DNA sequence: CTGTTAGCGCCTTCAC
DNA sequence: GTGAAGGCGCTAACAG
């Protein structure tokens, strides 16, 4: 690491002929600095191209003005969308954003990785963290933390989540209204509350419509496209395949469409498909995907707001912040004739 | 910020009945620690749920084992793809990733924002940084830095870039071979080398084919979809509109397709469209987009490798790392009859 | 093998 | 209004 030592506050002080404390004062916009000194220091700072050392600063001041985000897998479009919402929020609210990713490969160590990073970030380079679709149930930190699309179970952090169950029910009513009786379901990441609630919506709607639930029509996916493909294939290979497939998210739905295509089926003529999330791009695919809109961007935004409130010591009304979903009907479904 | 003070290395030391240096040793896996002490310390660490303070650590050790990425606008799919490549690299090479984004709104301050963050990150929370499509020409840092898709002009940092000119030429030869003579061009972000090289390829191919270059057929875009839409609209409103439009990237091409559709034109029957980048999703749109593949993921990977070499003090062979492009012919073009 | 001693760069009382 | 001194949590010599 043979870099030239970067220039410090000391160098600036010397060059400006003042003490480090004075430089620090102008750096932090303290009021009790003489106009003239302020100008002079400001000038030398610019001249020398000085920027303060983030590490030293936060070590001392215990405040960084940046919020952390930990997202295990950036490969996930959901995470990306949420990130864009967070990005929008910090911009408006005057914070910086620091994202940690490391893409642990082994599923078994996901939770440990998350925990390590959350506590590492907190109190050092960020004042609080947002964690996207966490694998861990609990986090060893005394700092503000909010989850987006949380883990199921008895978590101890506030969370932002959509009305997944209701969204799924909307889909099922629509499909059933179209005359479908054999409806396949590709479930999402097993331990996420969202996935469980969507499955629950599927089940309850079936029951409500007095349609028998066939376990073989439910496949365990994980929100990823490849898995969606595999699950759909299994479903379509069934002796008595479904006439419609409800995939727990758009990625899985796209995998489903690919599988159907590879099996020589036309959509929606031979098979109806519904997704969940309303990812950008789902309009562009052929046929345009019927799906459930989940306000991912807004979820990121809301989480940021909540986190900032927490950081400022305010307490929140509810542990869970619920965001609405909405059925978006496009061209991937068709009535049974 | 009324958090409980987080537990420090001192607390651990006291609890384990050793000195802080010993704790530090086991933390950093130094070899000269007695088996028994190691165990004991490790145990109390786990028990107390201690994690080291990142800021303090890097302040002292001048080494963070993480690489920084600054990307101004996460809204850019190119940046996202690159990020995925970087993510893959750090995973394999054993580094962590820290992304800075802040989405400055005013174009005029882009460069300043980038510069501020680059120098703030470097030497404090990261050992080097990758900057994606920089707006700044120069950076005030003595730390390793590499750019992806750099700014044009006399930059002083190493860069990873694709064969943009050749890629554009490939498109033009294809289009001309199809019989097109009036070919519109929607240019990319003005100051990026990539944009300039693509434009250059467009020009040179025209010249080589002895086709006159009409300035009104060239529009200044900026790689964004909305701008692509607007430019395409202008092109199509021309008294003598082009029969084909070559957009400098896929986003612009999608904007173009939307504009054509809104103008009641069918693609490829009434208008041929070509993009650049081969973004995921361009297969799914209708018609599937003919485009140029740019190995974005690999570019991110390569930049990471280069950066790590730099961090380890190795010198590189070339300032520019060139990545190949490849024409991908799909369904958005048609021969003139 | 382990403890003691210096700081890393910065901010913050406290004097002047 | 400004400087001097102490310490944030940690690592890296240096002794023992």
Q: Which residues contact B49 (CB under 8 A, 6 or more apart)?
A: A119, A140, B7
What is each CA distance from A155 to A121, A134, A193, in whole angstroms?
Answer: 20, 10, 11
Q: Which residues in chain A are contacts of B55 at CB distance < 8 A?
A: 54-56, 58-59, 124-125
Q: Does A3 contact B123 at a Cβ distance shorter than 8 Å?
A: yes
> Strand C and chain B: which residues 16-45 have CB closer than 7 Å?
17-22, 25, 32-34, 36-38
Rg for chain B, CA atoms, rounded: 25
For position B5, what pLDDT does the model report?
63
Q: Which residues in chain B are contacts of A2 at CB distance < 8 A?
A: 313
Q: Over the stretch A129-152, which tens digit does the pLDDT of each residue have?
A: 999 999 888 887 778 999 999 999
> Strand C and chain A: which residues 8-27 have CB closer than 7 Å?
8-10, 20-21, 24-25, 27
Q: Does B3 contact A143 at a Cβ distance shorter than 8 Å?
A: yes
Q: Tell me how close the Cα of A71 comes to any Cα of chain B, in angstroms.
A: 11
Helix, coil or strand: residue B237 = coil
Rg for chain A, CA atoms, rounded: 25
Q: Which residues contact B36 (CB under 8 A, 6 or more apart)?
A: none
User: For residues B326 and B165, is the Cβ–Cβ distance under 8 A?
Assistant: no
> Strand C and chain A: which residues 52-81 have CB closer than 7 Å?
52-53, 56-57, 59-61
**How sure is the predictor about B49, in pLDDT bands with cuts at 50, 70 and 90?**
confident
Q: Which nucleotide is nearest to B13 (CA to C1')?
A: C3
Question: What are the residues facing A129 on neighbouring strands?
Answer: A68, A145
Q: Which residues in chain B are contacts of A91 at CB distance < 8 A?
A: 102-105
For position A98, what pLDDT does the model report?
85
Q: Which residues in chain A are contacts of B3 at CB distance < 8 A?
A: 123, 142-144
A244-247 sheet: strands from edge to edge: A218-219, A183-186, A244-247, A272-274
Q: Over the stretch B109-126, which tens digit does the pLDDT of each residue have?
A: 788 888 888 888 877 888
Look up residue A278 and give its two tokens: 């309303």
Instruction: Judge whether residue A127 has pLDDT over 50.
Output: yes
Backbone torsion region of residue B103, taken as left when φ is above 0, otherwise alpha when ψ lies between -120 and 50, otherwise beta: left
Q: Over the stretch A212-235, which tens digit does the pLDDT of each residue have?
A: 999 999 999 999 999 999 999 999
For chain B, give the mean pLDDT.
91
Residue B92, H or E segment: helix B77-93
Look up residue B200 and give its two tokens: 């250059």
Q: Which residues contact B311 (CB under 8 A, 6 or more apart)?
A: A1, B67, B127, B128, B144
Looking at A90-221, which runs of residues are DSSP E strands?
96-101, 129-132, 145-148, 159-162, 183-186, 218-219
A172-190: b (≥16 Cβ within 10 Å) or e? bebbbebebebbbbbbbbe
Distance in angstroms: CA B58, C1' D12: 13
Task: Give the best residue of A81, A122, A125, A286 to mutate against chain B (max B CB count within 10 A).
Answer: A125
**How sure is the predictor about A316, in pLDDT bands with cuts at 50, 70 and 90?**
confident
Q: How far is the C-alpha of B285 from the C-alpha of A7, rounded, in Å?
A: 51
**How sure is the predictor about B2, in pLDDT bands with cuts at 50, 70 and 90?**
very low
User: For residues A202 and A168, is the Cβ–Cβ distance under 8 A?
Assistant: yes
Q: Which long-range contacts (CB under 8 A, 24 or more apart) does A112-120 make?
A: A112/A136, A113/A72, A114/A70, A114/A72, A114/A139, A115/A139, A115/A140, A116/B51, A117/A70, A117/B96, A118/A68, A118/A70, A118/A145, A119/B6, A119/B49, A119/B51, A120/B51, A120/B52, A120/B54
Q: How far is the C-alpha of A74 from the C-alpha of A142, rounded, in Å?
A: 26
Instruction: Judge whether residue A1 has pLDDT over 50.
Output: no
Look up residue A265 and give its two tokens: 């089926």
For position B105, what pLDDT does the model report?
62
For position B112, what pLDDT does the model report?
82
**How sure is the predictor about A2, in pLDDT bands with cuts at 50, 70 and 90?**
very low
Q: Which nucleotide is nearest to A60 (CA to C1')?
A: D8
Distance in angstroms: CA A91, C1' D3: 37
Side-chain-side CA neighbours of residue B129 (13 Å): 30
Q: Does A121 contact B54 at a Cβ distance shorter than 8 Å?
A: yes
**Alpha helix ranges (H) inside B215-288:** 225-236, 250-262
With tokens 């509810």, the residue in question is: A318
Distance in angstroms: CA A20, C1' C11: 10
* Strand D and B5 CB separated by under 7 Å: yes
Q: Does A84 contact B74 at a Cβ distance shorter than 8 Å?
A: yes
Q: Does B101 contact A100 at a Cβ distance shorter than 8 Å?
A: no
- Say how many CB pairs under 8 Å bridge A and B: 152
For position B236, what pLDDT does the model report?
98
For position A30, what pLDDT does the model report?
87
Look up residue B58 and give its two tokens: 């890097």
Distance in angstroms: CA A36, C1' D2: 13
Instruction: Judge whether residue A317 has pLDDT over 80.
Output: no
Q: Does A124 contact B53 at a Cβ distance shorter than 8 Å?
A: yes
User: For residues A266 and A294, is the Cβ–Cβ distance under 8 A?
Assistant: no
Name the more confident of A91 and A20: A20
Distance in angstroms: CA B59, C1' D7: 14
Residue B36 has φ and ψ, to the nearest 5°, of: -65, -50
**What would the mean pLDDT of B57-76 be, rounded to a whole number?**
85
* Strand D and B20 CB separated by under 7 Å: yes
Cβ neighbourhood burial of A133 (10 Å; 0-12, 13-18, 19+): buried
Show the domains of chain A with their CATH numbers.
9-52 (1.10.260.40), 66-161+297-323 (3.40.50.2300), 164-293 (3.40.50.2300)
Instruction: Judge whether residue B29 has pLDDT over 90.
Output: no
Q: How many residues does chain B have?
A: 337
Q: Does A84 contact B96 at a Cβ distance shorter than 8 Å?
A: no
Distance in angstroms: CA B10, C1' C14: 27
Question: What are the residues facing B70 on neighbouring strands?
Answer: B100, B131
What is each CA distance from A88 to A20, A71, A278, A303, in whole angstroms?
Answer: 36, 17, 19, 12
Look up residue A205 and give its two tokens: 């709607």
Instruction: Judge whether residue A292 has pLDDT over 60.
Output: yes
Instruction: Judge whether residue B106 has pLDDT over 80.
Output: no
Q: Which nucleotide is nearest to B61 (CA to C1')?
A: D11
Instruction: Judge whether residue A42 has pLDDT over 70.
Output: yes
pTM of this structure: 0.82
Q: Does B97 contact A100 at a Cβ distance shorter than 8 Å?
A: yes
Q: How far is the C-alpha of B302 from the C-alpha of B324, rounded, in Å?
A: 12
């Amino acid at each position: 690491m043979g870099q030239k030592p970067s220039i410090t506050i000391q160098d600036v002080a010397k060059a400006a002929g003042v003490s480090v404390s004075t430089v620090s004062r102008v750096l932090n916009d303290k009021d009790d600095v003489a106009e003239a000194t302020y100008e002079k220091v400001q000038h030398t700072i610019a001249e020398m191209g000085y920027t303060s050392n983030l590490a030293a600063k936060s070590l001392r001041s215990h405040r960084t003005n940046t919020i952390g985000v930990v997202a295990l897998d950036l490969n996930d479009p959901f995470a990306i969308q949420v990130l864009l919402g967070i990005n929008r929020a910090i911009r408006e609210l005057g914070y910086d954003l620091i994202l940690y990713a490391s893409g642990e490969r082994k599923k078994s160590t996901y939770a440990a990785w998350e925990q390590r990073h959350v506590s590492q970030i907190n109190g050092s380079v960020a004042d609080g963290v947002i964690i996207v679709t966490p694998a861990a149930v609990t986090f060893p930190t005394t700092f503000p933390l909010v989850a987006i699309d949380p883990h199921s179970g008895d978590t101890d952090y506030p969370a932002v989540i959509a009305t997944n169950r209701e969204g799924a029910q909307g889909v099922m009513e629509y499909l059933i209204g179209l005359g479908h009786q054999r409806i396949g379901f590709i479930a999402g990441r097993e331990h996420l509350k969202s996935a469980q609630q969507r499955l629950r919506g599927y089940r309850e709607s079936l029951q409500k419509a007095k349609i028998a639930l066939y376990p073989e029509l439910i496949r365990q996916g994980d929100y990823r496209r490849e898995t969606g493909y595999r699950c759909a294939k299994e479903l379509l290979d069934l002796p008595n395949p479904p006439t419609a497939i409800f995939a727990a998210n758009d990625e899985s739905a796209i995998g489903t469409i690919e599988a159907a295509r590879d099996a020589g089926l036309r959509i929606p003529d031979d098979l109806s498909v519904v997704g969940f999330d309303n990812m950008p791009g789902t309009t562009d695919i052929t046929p345009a995907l019927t799906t459930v809109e989940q306000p991912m961007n807004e979820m990121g935004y809301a989480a940021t707001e909540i986190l900032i409130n927490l950081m400022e010591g305010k307490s929140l009304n509810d542990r869970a912040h619920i965001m609405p979903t909405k059925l978006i009907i496009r061209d991937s479904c068709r009535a049974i004739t």
